Amino acid sequence: MKIEKLIGSIGGEFEGHEIDALLNNSRSRVDHALKRVRRPDAAVGIVKSPLGDLLVAMTGRGIVLNHYLLGGDDLAATIAKLRFELDLVDDRRTIKEVGEEIRRYIGGEAAALRRNIDLTLAVSPFQKKVLHKLQEVPRGTVVSYQALGAAAGAPKGARAVGNAMHNNPVPIYVPCHRVIASDGRIGGYGGGAARKLQLLRSEGFALADAALRLPDNVVWGHKGTKIYCRANCRTAARVDRSRILFFAGAREARQAGMRPCKICQPA
């Protein structure tokens, strides 16, 4: 409903009443209308990347949308949905750098992703909290849905975490590709399994094109003890899996502040 029409209907309904009564009775509808009027401006455009075409939107706070274009009516539907939250301006020059950063990142430049992130499009406070926690998972590391849920205060919320990942508005920059099943299965990805594998390979994981699980040469580390182990270490049977991170190798584990297990003696 346009703000003019909304204000007109309120005025007719409360004609003759005091101003304070008008405000009290119309507050919720006026607040909703003002929120729509004050939508943030966002530059929007399509960028080319090694992962395919991306629809990117950027506000003054950072990247607010980084969406894999999956063909068909996806572009039109996504733009229509965005218009409910943002005032869009076609500005390909502003968003061009996002494609260049992703290209360098896939090529192995670890610090290439430098844009700030705007989580305005997170659908709930829980999703926003999960996405913030996900940003703490470093390159060369993956975490299970269960462990990410535990970090966000919901140790039994693996399914809710999965939904939060599927609806992540800023993939790659908010690395939902680093979330896997607790048994080592790669799991799903909003951009498709091939893109998830491509991203993980660029971060050091030795994965074949059709891989369904993490390779045997990964090591896992415990966030509490700060010890990392081989995948087949006997201590794995009694460890709390909600505190586990999986690393592409020993180097990544050490970079994260872990020390090697004295039992399995990983490299």
Which active-site residues does the annotation give? Answer: 176
DSSP letter (8 states) at residue 200? H
- Cross-strand partners of 117: 63
Tokens of 97: 């750098």
Q: Which of 181, 187, 177, 178 is nearest to 51 (CA)?
A: 177
Chain centroid to CA 57: 15
Q: Report which residue type is found at 171.
A: P
- Write out the H or E segment, with its range, that includes residue 68: strand 62-68
The angle, 0 to 180 degrees and rounded to 10, between the axes of the packed helices 3-13 and 19-37 is 170
